[in-house]
Structure 1
Amino acid sequence: MTDHEALMTDRLARAEVDAGVFALRPDYRVLILSADGIVPGPSDDGNEALLRAAEAAAAAALGAGTSVEELPHVAAWREAYRAFGAKPQRTRNSLEALLRRADGGLPRVNRLTDIYNAISVLHQLPIGGEDLGRYAGAPALRRATGHEAFDTVAAGREVIEHPEPGEVVWCDDAGVTCRRWNWRQGRRTQLTTETEHALFILDALAPMADAALEAAANDLTVHLRRLGPDVRIARRLIAGPALATEREQP
């Protein structure tokens, strides 16, 4: 096992979701997927084809007068945001934000970001992507104290913000990596054209089934594997105690 493979295994094994998050949404599940051996590079024709397929899928899902907020998984995430005090009409989860942009064209950012954005829209679930090489420790999802640091940009300047107390945030040992569950990612760990080791977070709530979550991860894996001859993938599913007990029932 290489050093990077050992790092991937360790980060996945130590990833955690706080009990306070499961108290908000007992139906929450997260599939964390890590990828090592990525050959860095800019967006390519494969990205463009995938993004166009996602734009077409969004148009089909929103046809016949269906609004974004009526889509089942978007509606579930709006409820989850309200549960910790966020206003979903002002701070939209990443899936809803992408779907609202799809008609005018999804953003073209970089190869890795383009892939997970497209998979997010195609499978209708929020996905986040992080540069594992810039990560400090293991990912953790918890309710914020309000003192954690979050590096972002405001009015064109790099600034440090702090989440609201009780806000659901993804963190590593250095601070917040994503605010409001899956709303806005920080700059420190963002994916770039130089990223070789990446971490992806796939968020699910009911009514999304485990099989649909796994299908999204499988699709993401297929597209990541084309980014180098030696790409290695590892994944871990984390669910709350209620769902874990339910799965153990005969």
Structure 2
Amino acid sequence: MDKFIAEKSFWDIFPEAELGIMTVRGLDNSMEDGPARQEIIDMLAEANREAEKFIDKPVLSQCSVVSVWRDAFQKFKKKKGNRASIEALLNRIQKGKEVGPINPLVDIYNAMSLKYGLPCGGEDADTIKGDMRLTITEGGDSFLALGDTENDPTLPSEICYIDDEGAVCRCWNWRDGVRTMLTEDSKNVFLIFESVDPSRHDDLTQATDELEALVLKYLGGTVAMKTIITKDNTSADSAI
């Protein structure tokens, strides 16, 4: 990964959006079972319980942290049923299905997403080709989603994270791809929090800071880049 860029086509639709991003190099995501691994699993379990505070209405789509993303997803092309990642997590909570452990880094960012009610994700920076761009696509970008076996190209006018090889994450933060997913072998990573609600600027900043602290505490490595992306600060070198 060379650089992160949120392009003009994105800001034309979401001028008040904010993205808390960072890159971390040299971390160790291969943690074996032990006290530290259990602490992360316990943190995720606690975040599952804490996230219930965001389900403040009987209908999930009407809850404030979800409704802002429902509105956002109406502003660009998507497939029917595509939802923001935070809605997918809270949907599990509402149905009594705990968001369970996957690997240490994914567990940490899922815990932070649940704690703050904001979409959070990550990619293996070593698998991103050239710059990663958040943009309105022309369509046809190659994409193999997690769990799928066939290419599912992007739609024209869809908001996606893309690189020189294809799509990285479809429909803004709906679904990650196999090619850039985080694994136990990931060493250099890109992490991101997303907000479309200007009133949650402080939450976004605090969430990004806490994510950084937890990653360094449990997985080590060095933060190579960290910033808040806005319409006035649209790009950052990965420094990896």
TM-score tier, shorter chain, comes to 0.7 to 0.9
* Partner SS, residue 225 of structure 2: strand
* Partner SS, residue 152 of structure 1: coil
Task: State the partner residue of 1:247.
Answer: none
Mapped to 2, the partners of 1:195 and 1:55 lie a distance apart of 25
Question: How big is the alpha-carbon RMSD for the aligned residues of Structure 1 and Structure 2?
Answer: 2.2
Matched, 1:109 2:102: yes
Matched, 1:26 2:15: yes
Cα drift, residue 153 of structure 1: 5.3
Matched, 1:135 2:124: no
Matched, 1:59 2:59: no
Mapped to 1, the partners of 2:224 and 2:112 lie a distance apart of 16
Matched, 1:161 2:152: yes
When residues 68 and 233 of structure 1 are mapped into structure 2, their CA distance, relative to the original with a 3 A threshold, is farther
Unaligned runs of 5+ in 1: 1-6, 245-250
Mapped to 2, the partners of 1:91 and 1:228 lie a distance apart of 32
8 Å Cα contact 1:69/1:75 also seen in 2: yes
Question: Which of 176, 179, 189 is the equivalent residue of 2:170?
Answer: 179
Mapped to 2, the partners of 1:171 and 1:104 lie a distance apart of 31
Query: What TM-score do you get using the length of structure 2 for normalisation?
Result: 0.87
Unaligned runs of 5+ in 2: 235-240
Matched, 1:121 2:114: yes
Mapping of 1:142-221 within 5 angstroms?
142-152=135-145, 158-221=149-212
Instruction: Give the counterpart letter for 2:78 in structure 1.
Output: A
8 Å Cα contact 2:29/2:105 also seen in 1: no
Give aligned pairs, total.
228
Cα drift, residue 240 of structure 1: 1.5
> Could you tell me the percent identity over the aligned residues?
26
Mapped to 2, the partners of 1:192 and 1:85 lie a distance apart of 30
Task: State the partner residue of 1:80.
Answer: 72
Mapped to 1, the partners of 2:220 and 2:105 lie a distance apart of 16
8 Å Cα contact 1:140/1:170 also seen in 2: yes
Instruction: Give the counterpart letter for 2:69 in structure 1.
Output: W
Cα drift, residue 228 of structure 1: 4.0
Instruction: Give the counterpart letter for 1:146 in structure 2.
Output: G
8 Å Cα contact 1:143/1:166 also seen in 2: yes
8 Å Cα contact 1:116/1:128 also seen in 2: yes
Mapped to 2, the partners of 1:33 and 1:96 lie a distance apart of 23
Question: Which of 223, 229, 235 is the equivalent residue of 1:238?
Answer: 229
Mapped to 1, the partners of 2:39 and 2:87 lie a distance apart of 24
Mapped to 2, the partners of 1:86 and 1:175 lie a distance apart of 17
